[in-house]
Amino acid sequence: MVQNDRNMEKEIIEKRQGEVLVQKGITKNVKKLFLESYGCQMNFSDSEVVASILHNEGYNTTTQPEEADLILLNTCSIREKAEQTIRKRLSQFNTVKKQKPYLVIGVLGCMAERLKTKFLEEEHLVDLVVGPDAYRDLPNLLKDTEDGRSAINVLLSKEETYADISPVRLGGNGVTAFVSITRGCDNMCTFCVVPFTRGRERSRDPHSILKECRELVENGYKEITLLGQNVDSYLWYGGGPKKDFYKAGELQKATAVDFAQLLDLVATACSGARIRFSTSNPQDMHEEVLHVMAKHENICKYIHLPVQSGNTAVLQRMNRRHTREEYMELLDKIKKIIPDCAISHDMISGFCGETEEEHKDTLSLMEYAKYDFGYMFAYSERPGTPAHKNMKDDVPVEIKKRRLTEIIDLQQKLSLERMRSYTQKVHEVLIEGTSKKSEKQWYGRISQNAVAVFPKTENTKIGDFVKVWIKDCTSATLIGEIV
Ligand code: SF4
């Protein structure tokens, strides 16, 4: 980064700022932020917190990197491929960086946290590296980059939940939004980087969650998804970590809020909106959550319940603290208490030491669960995880791929069966937008999270709840008409 280019450009920006401020006599954001998110919904929600912090620093977002004064990539590290995608994307900013030497390029999120200073060493275009718990420090770090220095903050926190920051909603449809309720994870599944890149689990103050949900409804949002790596272990008793709850005082225990209570509070406070939540964890899910779901019409009948493997020995190697049988008992409980509940999963093929028999257990568990859909991947060893340190990634790639294909093919069959079960019925659908397939069609989801497409009719618009007769389907889409 060339010092005098930077000073020169700084002068231009300040001059531009000065002029605009003078003309309008008001404060106006003139700096442009290009913010691109990768990976899970937690990252997309974090980007809305980042956009809010930087908005207060004079940045407005732009969708054109060429226009940007600051480019930020919110990165994912869940699999090797996710990191390669980021490196490739960074290389695409070479030209714009040459044209705009004052341009600052930064990386946020899990890959930033995993690589830390190595990111600056390995990627010369990168000026700024910020971990998921350090976004409040962005204004200071940007000041450092203004002097031509690179800047980094990857400190993880045991308290940070950004509870007091009102996210700037990015690129949404104005009717569905995510509200984060926990950060980090304490579960230490042996294949997973999240505990290392997002730190210890902490729950957000329920008052700030309710405030954000109410504001969303007041601003016309019709669906809220409560978000966390593991929503079932949500527990608020004044800010301490869940593992210290036993030390809490009587009053703290008496006024503590767990996930079932939070869900009940949000569904009651936002009765005009649909409520969803993700991601659940079979080892922490309480039956109380199911009864709260059954009690509230506006809580959607859908649970994302990752399992990763259908075999108990593999689950033990993954440090998933439940057996195949316990997971099946939970499925039975869900279907008993909420008969029309849809369930989806996460599944990994070819984890360390996985035998053909163990793989078959995964297929038979899927048959038993009759999942609506799933996120299915071959095991990708992640540096620094317990599996990487203590186990051999010994299942050959072609076997991993063959098993993954079998899992995906089976899920395709199960999805079609599930989708068929929604046909020849009327469902309530929230219109979320125009179908990608046709300008003349709306798309939206039923309570069970399946996507439906149907012809637009007069007097219907995005954000409306409509009754749709589902006459047909594919394994991924319901086809219907408004009735
Ligand atoms: S529950 Fe396991 S897989 Fe999920 S984020 Fe936590 S450690 Fe990772």
pLDDT in tens, 248-307: 888 888 999 999 999 999 999 999 999 999 999 999 999 999 999 999 999 999 999 999
- Give the model's pLDDT for residue 455: 98
Is residue 282 lining ligand 1, measured as CB closer than 6 Å? Answer: no
Supply the residue whose CA is at minimum distance from atom 4 of ligand 1.
229
Supply the residue whose CA is at minimum distance from atom 8 of ligand 1.
192
Six-digit token pair at 180?
Answer: 């984060």
The 10 Å Cβ neighbour count of residue 254 is 9
Q: For residue 308, which atom of ligand 1 is closest to its CA? A: 3
Is residue 252 lining ligand 1, measured as CB closer than 6 Å? Answer: no
Pinpoint the residues of the chain covered by CATH 2.40.50.140.
Answer: 425-482
Pinpoint the residues of the chain covered by CATH 3.40.50.12160.
Answer: 5-153
pTM assigned to the model:
0.91
Pocket probe mutation, ligand 1, options 189, 191, 319, max atoms within 8 Å of Cβ: 189
Is residue 309 lining ligand 1, measured as CB closer than 6 Å? Answer: no
Give residue 281 CA to ligand 1 midpoint distance, Å: 9
Q: For residue 279, which atom of ligand 1 is closest to its CA? A: 4
Give residue 309 CA to ligand 1 midpoint distance, Å: 14
Give residue 385 CA to ligand 1 midpoint distance, Å: 11
Is residue 77 lining ligand 1, measured as CB closer than 6 Å? Answer: no
- Give the model's pLDDT for residue 342: 98
Which superfamily does CATH assign the domain made up of 5-153 to?
Methylthiotransferase, N-terminal domain (3.40.50.12160)
Is residue 233 lining ligand 1, measured as CB closer than 6 Å? Answer: no
Give residue 288 CA to ligand 1 midpoint distance, Å: 22
Is residue 318 lining ligand 1, measured as CB closer than 6 Å? Answer: no
Any idea which architecture 425-482 has in CATH?
Beta Barrel (2.40)
Is residue 290 lining ligand 1, measured as CB closer than 6 Å? Answer: no
| Helices 138-146 and 41-55, packing angle to 10 deg | 70
Residues of the chain with pLDDT under 50: 1-3, 16, 19-27
Pocket probe mutation, ligand 1, options 110, 194, 316, max atoms within 8 Å of Cβ: 194
Q: For residue 195, which atom of ligand 1 is closest to its CA? A: 7
- Give the model's pLDDT for residue 2: 45
Is residue 385 lining ligand 1, measured as CB closer than 6 Å? Answer: no
Sign of CA dihedral 93, 96, 101, 106: negative
Give residue 230 CA to ligand 1 midpoint distance, Å: 7
Q: For residue 346, which atom of ligand 1 is closest to its CA? A: 3
Q: For residue 198, which atom of ligand 1 is closest to its CA? A: 5
Is residue 319 lining ligand 1, measured as CB closer than 6 Å? Answer: no
Is residue 189 lining ligand 1, measured as CB closer than 6 Å? Answer: yes
